[in-house]
Amino acid sequence: MAGHDLSALEGALRSIAEYNAELLKIIHMKGYTTPRELALVTGVSGGIAAQMKTLVVVSREIVAQAR
């Protein structure tokens, strides 16, 4: 990932920020987002968001089947 595309990272973190608002604060701290940290956090946040989406779908299915 070239450069410091903090807006893309912030967009990825917004989907999980309701569970931890501190995530959006730390990415704007000077010196935090080196290119390697940016790539790592972007990848991890994408994985977390995908897992959360799956959990929501599964929980809705469990509730629907229970009715």
Query: pLDDT tens-digit profile of 16-42?
Result: 766 667 767 776 677 766 778 778 877
Distance CA 58, CA 21 (A): 25
How many domains, in total, are found in the chain? Answer: 1
Do you know the residue count of the chain?
67
Q: Does residue 12 belong to any structural domain of this protein?
A: yes
How many CB atoms are closer than 10 A to CB 46? 15
Residue 20 sits in which domain range?
Answer: 6-66
Distance CA 2, CA 49 (A): 22
Tell me the per-residue pLDDT of 45-60, one tens digit each, with 9 for 90 and over: 888 888 888 988 999 9
- pTM (global) more than 0.85: no
Q: Does residue 10 belong to any structural domain of this protein?
A: yes
Q: What residues contact 53, with CB distance under 8 A and at least 6 apart?
A: none
Q: Of 26, 48, 51, 52, whose CA–CA distance to 37 is shortest?
A: 26
